[in-house]
Amino acid sequence: MSNIGDYKERLAHSDWSEVHEELDYRPEGILNIGWHCSDRICRQGKGDKLALLWENVCGHEKRYTFNELRLASNTIGAHLRKLGIRDEDRVCLFMDRIPELYIGFLGILKIGAVAQPLFSAFGDESLFVRLDNAGTRAILTQRKHVGKVRKILDRLPQLEHIIIVDHDGKKALEDRESVFNLAEAETVDAFDIFPTRAESPSVLHYTSGTTGQPKGVQHVHYSLISQYLTTKWVLDLQENDIYWCTADPGWVTGTSYGIIGPWSLGITQCVLDAGFSAEAWYRFIDKHSISMWYSAPTAIRSLMKAGEEVVKRADLSSLRHLASVGEPLNAEAVIWSERVLGKPFLDTYWQTETGSIMITNLPGMPIKPGSMGKCFPGIQGAVLNAKTFEPITEPGIVGLIGFRPGWPAMMRGYWKNEKVYQEKFRNGWYLPGDRAKLDAEGYFWFVGRDDDVINTGGHLISPFEVESALLEYEAVAESAVVAKPDEVNMEVVKAYVLLKDGYLANQDTELEIMNFIRKKLSPLAMPQEIEFVGSLPKTRSGKIMRRILHAREWGEEIGDTSTLEDDE
């Protein structure tokens, strides 16, 4: 039987405060995610239960019980305190999916500092923008990534500590660098948790927008309330489950549901620190008897592409429940998983700013393949008229998704950007920036983004950030970046580029530009196609009209072009 029980009953009697007792929390009292995900579980008598089973690409494993998780996070927290890191200081986690990433996240929160996880594939410029904006004081990283930090260090005077967690001592350390080896550090048993409260800052996640640089989404410790309950009811994690969330903690799914959700429930989770391979993923599920699997539509479509023969080479009978996150889950993927894996992937909808699942397909709910599902109990959502911002009651009419503010995991602001934060609210609704429609039974159906942000494999890419980087390449005079349809990733980055005089529009130039962006920003931001053009469509005021280029890629009507500078 699922944890949520009857959806209608939960909907009628939903109250976030019900979770307080389950989490041993009293309003106005201490609430610390790091403590609740480790020490609290040990106090429940589960200290010897397996918390983390980690495996790398070579099959090497590490295992941590909840008591070992408690001790290790204490040890990292104590080390940061010795360095002078204080409450509300930003501490970046810039690592692959190694145990120190997950444990360090809890250690940072235990001392009241703010965890700033960043995707380890980011290039030096993407890293700089986010560290500079956050005023980050310390960064935990690895030998393989510290070179990127060194390249930008002279521009980051506020970054006082670069802590390398796997340094072998064979090479000299650079300025501001130190070594911390968790396996060799003196274990800290008794540790004073910083008395964070519900509204104390906890995590700073960066997300991309249509214009401007990436925005720091500010979350607080009270987000635990939403993340705990959605994990319990949507992901349906139960005492004996073995859980696998495939998301990297550099993205919000990897923290909300790859760290906080499962560990606040005292659930064993697995982490595979390796790239995608259908055979390796199925083998991982088989080897560790994974029962709950939370993944992304991009990965699911890649599994579909790999065929059904590879599925037959693994025993997947342990799987009990499957869910999907990050981008719309197409109906074909739901039908495929039910036929091939014996269970449908249930779509979940939310974003960095919401902090937790908002619209979802729940266990026991009739599934409509291709639908986002319904609002999670306690969430008031609607499809709004784009002009009046009033709810649309008629089924089938496309409008903007809107949520009434007040759920525990809602962001508390954009870092140093109050103006843009306030622009996310209209007529008492929070607007996530997506369009949808409702059917007669109240199911939401995703239509598309309401801006130019590119959703590639569930990760949001800012056209502005890519365009800015392109202009730093010596051959590029102008550029425009849009989404291009893709069979696996739904959307990928395409760049229209106007070259400077003297440079050739050929394959070599295209590859050089692609490689430049890959190193400077990230592999996800790298254009999958570059089209060299003689001019870009602009308004008479000089603004590049991305929508015209987007329409060309998607076979849509171009619409009004009266403001084009060369329009007759």
At residue 249, the pLDDT reads 96
The pTM for the full model equals 0.86
At residue 15, the pLDDT reads 86
Domain membership of residue 568 (yes or no) is: no
Domain membership of residue 132 (yes or no) is: yes
At residue 539, the pLDDT reads 57
Domain membership of residue 547 (yes or no) is: yes
At residue 568, the pLDDT reads 35
Which range marks the domain in which residue 206 is found?
Answer: 7-436
Inter-axis angle of helices 143-152 and 124-134, nearest 10? 70
The answer on 525 and 424 residing in a single domain is no
The answer on 459 and 405 residing in a single domain is no
The answer on 489 and 388 residing in a single domain is no
The answer on 212 and 90 residing in a single domain is yes
At residue 541, the pLDDT reads 44
At residue 560, the pLDDT reads 45
> Of 90, 363, 311, 312, nearest to 216 (Cα)?
90
The answer on 99 and 179 residing in a single domain is yes
Identify whether the C-beta of residue 350 lies closer than 8 Å to the C-beta of residue 407: no
Any idea what the CATH number is for the domain that residue 343 is in?
3.40.50.12780
The answer on 473 and 504 residing in a single domain is yes
DSSP state letter for 258:
I
For 306-330, b/e burial (b = at least 16 CB within 10 A) is: beeeeeeebebeebbbbbbbbbbbb
Give the position of tokens 């145990």.
99
At residue 209, the pLDDT reads 57
At residue 212, the pLDDT reads 61
The answer on 383 and 346 residing in a single domain is yes
pLDDT in tens, the chain (568 residues): 789 988 888 888 878 988 999 999 999 899 999 999 999 999 999 999 999 999 999 999 999 999 999 999 999 999 999 999 999 999 999 999 999 999 999 999 999 999 999 999 999 999 999 999 999 999 999 999 999 999 999 999 999 999 999 988 777 788 999 999 999 999 999 999 999 999 999 999 998 755 567 899 999 999 999 999 999 999 999 999 999 999 999 999 999 999 999 999 999 999 999 989 999 999 999 999 999 999 998 889 889 988 899 999 999 999 999 999 988 888 888 999 999 999 999 999 999 999 999 999 999 999 999 999 999 999 999 999 999 999 998 999 989 999 999 999 999 999 999 999 999 999 999 999 998 999 999 999 988 777 777 888 878 787 877 887 898 899 998 888 999 998 888 899 999 998 988 999 999 999 999 999 999 999 989 999 999 999 888 754 455 777 788 888 888 776 544 334 554 3
The answer on 153 and 86 residing in a single domain is yes
At residue 13, the pLDDT reads 81
- Here the tokens at position 477 are 């005079």
The answer on 197 and 300 residing in a single domain is yes
Give the position of tokens 């015209």.
548
Residue 444 three-state SS: strand
d(CA 421, CA 217): 9
> Of 405, 370, 373, 66, nearest to 233 (Cα)?
373
The answer on 465 and 419 residing in a single domain is no
Any idea what the CATH number is for the domain that residue 499 is in?
3.30.300.30
Looking at the structure of the chain, the number of domains it has is 2
The answer on 431 and 462 residing in a single domain is no
Domain membership of residue 263 (yes or no) is: yes
Strands 50-56 and 90-94: unpaired
Domain membership of residue 448 (yes or no) is: no
> Of 275, 242, 284, 321, nearest to 52 (Cα)?
242
The answer on 256 and 388 residing in a single domain is yes
Where are the extended beta strands (E) located within 37-89? Answer: 50-56, 61-65
Give the position of tokens 């109240």.
442
Domain membership of residue 296 (yes or no) is: yes
d(CA 265, CA 285): 21
Domain membership of residue 33 (yes or no) is: yes
Domain membership of residue 153 (yes or no) is: yes
